[in-house]
Amino acid sequence: MTNIKDVAKLANVSVTTVSRVLNKHPYVSEEKREAVLDAVKKTNYHINRNAVNLSKGKTFLIGVVLPYSDHPYFGTLLKGIANAALEHNYKLVLIQTNYQKDKEKEAFIMLEQKQIDGLIICSRVSEWEVIEEYVIYGPIVLAEKNITEQVSSTYIDHYQAFYQALNHLYTNGYQSIGYCINRKNGVSSQQRERAYHDFLKEKQIPFDQNYIFDGYLNFEDGERVVQQLKQMKKPPAALIVTSDQVAAGIVTCCHNLGLQVPKDLAIIGFDNQPIAKYMGITTMEIPLSEMGENLFLQAITREKVSQKRVNVQLIERQTV
Amino acid sequence: MTNIKDVAKLANVSVTTVSRVLNKHPYVSEEKREAVLDAVKKTNYHINRNAVNLSKGKTFLIGVVLPYSDHPYFGTLLKGIANAALEHNYKLVLIQTNYQKDKEKEAFIMLEQKQIDGLIICSRVSEWEVIEEYVIYGPIVLAEKNITEQVSSTYIDHYQAFYQALNHLYTNGYQSIGYCINRKNGVSSQQRERAYHDFLKEKQIPFDQNYIFDGYLNFEDGERVVQQLKQMKKPPAALIVTSDQVAAGIVTCCHNLGLQVPKDLAIIGFDNQPIAKYMGITTMEIPLSEMGENLFLQAITREKVSQKRVNVQLIERQTV
DNA sequence: CTGAAAGCGCTAACAA
DNA sequence: TTGTTAGCGCTTTCAG
């Protein structure tokens, strides 16, 4: 493999000059520039990124931590991040964790070892203390509301969004409202739970533990929800479902069983995925792609941290 | 940032010894080992991957080229690759192309510039000539049948799989069979087209251009297919759909419109995604996750190339 | 405008 | 067992 020295020799200049030409620095005479370019061609020279990285102390690589790469929510978020990365000449290192702490840890270690310049955490199980421990090694940005001021974030106010969804149902006459999430212990779920309890208290509606459905992520999980519902003596009249995928599954299953939506069961989804539009599901739109772009931007700015709250918008369709 | 030299100084040993300890090489006395480990702790030392990479000429990074990161097909494939990568201590660099040649090109350049050790191409638009041009820079592996012997591949025989699907329909009494793909010019589509034509010829069924539906990728695209179908005077009695997502969309739409599956329209999907199981869709199972794992393995072996054909299996359910 | 030389941080051949 | 030292390939300061 030919290196910068070979090129310099062939072009009869110093390596410095070659470097200048390659990096389009000024102050190089036209003839030398051409000589260099010519030598580059002749030797089939290609710069070695590792050497550049070492010398510059920068890799132009951003790590992206996410639990699953095969779910539309993260897929769309990732798309936003990827598009922004492309635009800024960065590449992404994918760290799929399946929500395992040790895999998340690996991402932090990459940052520590300078293999990546920054880290985007789309969803996590690690504690805040762990994150704080690693902020000194580079920008860490989160897709959730930050607790400390040390990290940047682009987040949704899940409390507010959930409250809004509840209110919408209530305003439309629904009193017994349940909800459906993926991870009870997830950060967002906790915010939603608070909103739920506060809402019930405000409206003086009694709490029923059975109205909370935990562990539903995909389209096909919708059926399980409906099965649960059918076995209840007093099922909720409406359901907030924190993923359009699951919402779509529920609606489909209802159709199949002859249940009427929203008459028998009202549904509000989350995300506004294409499938929600297609199936006419009322949903809380989350601008995932834009969130991804902003996350990326935050990840490449070392200087200052920032927090950005993203607005969620109710999209009314036919399931409420 | 402290480096190996600082550690050596503090531990009163040479950098070599430090390196040996860090890399668990033999021939280090226990006391020196401890001294080193102690110094590492005290200085909060972390190895610099870029330096290692440069020195070793290896990055433990594999590039993954795929068009969309938000489609279950690629999501599942990616999951398989990611799991294998994890197991072998590699990380993945995601290169999302949206089927743009220049973005694919960037992946090749990364290989050329030694930023990645190998490249997995899940789907492509670049010509074979381009791939051949870059094989000298490192292992390139493809998820499709290779034309030259220079690259490794893990692939499905789309011709055979498609033929099998056609036969299954035919055996079940369907004569007018159409099919639904995403990219007419994609590599796999061309194989399917050949199979289709050969099959029609064999069974002496006349060809109808309108029976080929091109440009359908997601669940919500299913509706467009059904709309097309409805406007035809003589719609096909059965449809092979090369993505379970689209198949599910079609089935759902049929339900909504009161069309009976398979009576009015028989469907065979592809992939065997969870949604196909859930909706009882007959499908050709592709072991995507296993394919991903094998692709990864091929990507990290420099020495010899290999080709692996993966078998597709018919899963009979209720849509035929 | 140009080049010499000192890094960047680590590995490994070689010598001891 | 251990240390010296020469790379790995590029950037950048400094002197000219």
Residues from chain B that touch A277, judged by Cβ atoms under 8 A, are 220
User: Is nucleic acid strand D under 7 Å from A40's C-beta?
Assistant: no
3-state DSSP assignment of residue B81: helix
Closest chain B residue to A93 measured between Cα atoms? B93
Q: What CATH number is associated with residue B182?
A: 3.40.50.2300
Q: How far is CA B160 from the centre of its chain?
A: 19
User: Which residue's CA lies closest to nucleotide D12 at its C1' atom?
Assistant: A16
B264, B229 Cβ separation under 8 angstroms:
no
Residue A248 sits in the same domain as residue A232: yes
Tell me the nearest-neighbour CA distance from A202 into chain B, angstroms: 39
Say whether pLDDT at A104 is over 90.
yes
Residue A166 sits in the same domain as residue A260: yes
Residue B297 sits in the same domain as residue B234: no
Residue A134 sits in the same domain as residue A72: yes
Q: Is residue B122 part of a domain?
A: yes
B248, B281 Cβ separation under 8 angstroms:
yes
pLDDT-above-90 percentage for chain A: 87
For range A37-55, the mean pLDDT? 95
Is A317 part of the contact surface with chain B (CB cutoff 8 Å)? no
Dihedral sign for Cα atoms in the order B215, B218, B224, B229: positive
What is the C-alpha separation between A71 and A67, in angstroms, rounded? 9
User: Is nucleic acid strand D under 7 Å from A55's C-beta?
Assistant: yes
3-state DSSP assignment of residue B105: helix
Residue A147's pLDDT band (cuts 50, 70, 90): confident
A238, A177 Cβ separation under 8 angstroms:
yes
Residue B163 sits in the same domain as residue B234: yes
Q: How many domains does chain A have?
A: 3
Tell me the nearest-neighbour CA distance from B150 into chain A, angstroms: 20
> Which residue in A177, A241, A176 sits closest to A214, CA to CA?
A241
Establish, for the pair of chains A and B, how many residue pairs have beta carbons separated by less than 8 Å. 135
Residue type, A63: G
Say whether the peptide bond before residue A206 is cis (omega within 30 degrees of 0): no
Q: How many CB atoms lie within 10 A of CB A175?
A: 11
Q: Is residue B316 part of a domain?
A: no
Residue B171 sits in the same domain as residue B268: yes
For residue B70, the model assigns a pLDDT of 80
Residue A139 sits in the same domain as residue A197: no
Domain that holds residue A277: 158-285
B79, A70 Cβ separation under 8 angstroms:
yes
Q: What is the pLDDT of residues A174-186, one digit of tens each?
A: 999 999 999 999 9
Q: What is the pLDDT of residues A259-281, one digit of tens each?
A: 999 999 999 999 999 889 988 99
Residue A132 sits in the same domain as residue A250: no
Q: Is residue A316 part of a domain?
A: no
Both tokens of A256, joined, read 């199949």
Residue B251 sits in the same domain as residue B106: no
The count of C-alpha atoms lying within 13 angstroms of the C-alpha of A256, restricted to the half-sphere facing its C-beta, is 16
Bridge partner residues of B95 (DSSP): B65
Q: Is residue A56 part of a domain?
A: no
User: Is nucleic acid strand C under 7 Å from B23's C-beta?
Assistant: yes
CA distances from residue A252 to A3, A278, B53, B253 in whole angstroms, order as listed:
61, 12, 51, 10
A69 closest CB neighbour out of B78, B252, B275: B78
Residue A206 sits in the same domain as residue A306: no
What is the C-alpha separation between A28 and A24, in angstroms, rounded? 9
Q: Is residue B132 part of a domain?
A: yes
User: Is nucleic acid strand D under 7 Å from A16's C-beta?
Assistant: yes
For residue A26, the model assigns a pLDDT of 87
Say whether pLDDT at A115 is over 90.
yes
Closest chain B residue to A72 measured between Cα atoms? B70
CA of A285 and C1' of D15: distance in angstroms?
Answer: 62
CA terminus-to-terminus distance, chain B: 65
Is A93 part of the contact surface with chain B (CB cutoff 8 Å)? yes
CB contact under 8 A, B46 and A95: no
Q: What CATH number is associated with residue A21?
A: 1.10.260.40
CA terminus-to-terminus distance, chain A: 65
Residues 217-276 of B with CB under 8 A from A: 218-220, 223, 248-249, 252, 255-256, 274-275
Q: Is residue A319 part of a domain?
A: no
> Which residue in B62, B61, B63, B82 sits closest to B289, CA to CA?
B82
What is the C-alpha separation between B2 and A192, in angstroms, rounded? 44
B225, B200 Cβ separation under 8 angstroms:
no
Residues from chain A that touch B68, judged by Cβ atoms under 8 A, are 75, 79
For range A152-172, the mean pLDDT? 97
User: Which residue's CA lies closest to nucleotide C3 at its C1' atom?
Assistant: A14
User: Is nucleic acid strand D under 7 Å from B15's C-beta?
Assistant: yes
Residues from chain B that touch A61, judged by Cβ atoms under 8 A, are 93
Strand order in the sheet with B212-214: B212-214, B177-181, B238-241, B266-271, B283-285, B313-315
Three-state secondary structure of A60-91: CEEEEEECCCCCHHHHHHHHHHHHHHHHCCCE
Residue A264 sits in the same domain as residue A180: yes
Residues 52-71 of A with CB under 8 A from B: 53-54, 57, 59, 61, 64, 68-71
A80, A290 Cβ separation under 8 angstroms:
yes
A161, A284 Cβ separation under 8 angstroms:
yes
Exposed, middle or buried, B170 (CB in 10 Å: 0-12/13-18/19+)?
middle
Q: Is residue A299 part of a domain?
A: yes
Q: Is residue A320 part of a domain?
A: no
Residue B113 sits in the same domain as residue B180: no
A69 closest CB neighbour out of B53, B69, B255: B69
CA A9-A14-A17 angle, 5° bins: 120
CB contact under 8 A, A93 and B54: no
- What per-residue string of b and e applies to A177-198 under the rule 16 or more CB within 10 Å gives b? bbbbbbbeebbbbebbbebbee
Tell me the nearest-neighbour CA distance from A205 into chain B, angstroms: 35
For residue B120, the model assigns a pLDDT of 98
User: Is nucleic acid strand D under 7 Å from A1's C-beta?
Assistant: yes
Residues 155-194 of A with CB under 8 A from B: none
User: Is nucleic acid strand D under 7 Å from A44's C-beta?
Assistant: no
**Which residues in chain B show pLDDT less than 50?**
none
Q: How many CB atoms lie within 10 A of CB B174?
A: 19
CA distances from residue A315 to A164, A211, A276, A283 in whole angstroms, order as listed:
12, 24, 10, 5
User: Which residue's CA lies closest to nucleotide D1 at its C1' atom?
Assistant: B27
Closest chain B residue to A53 measured between Cα atoms? B50
User: Is nucleic acid strand D under 7 Å from A53's C-beta?
Assistant: no
Say whether pLDDT at A8 is over 90.
yes
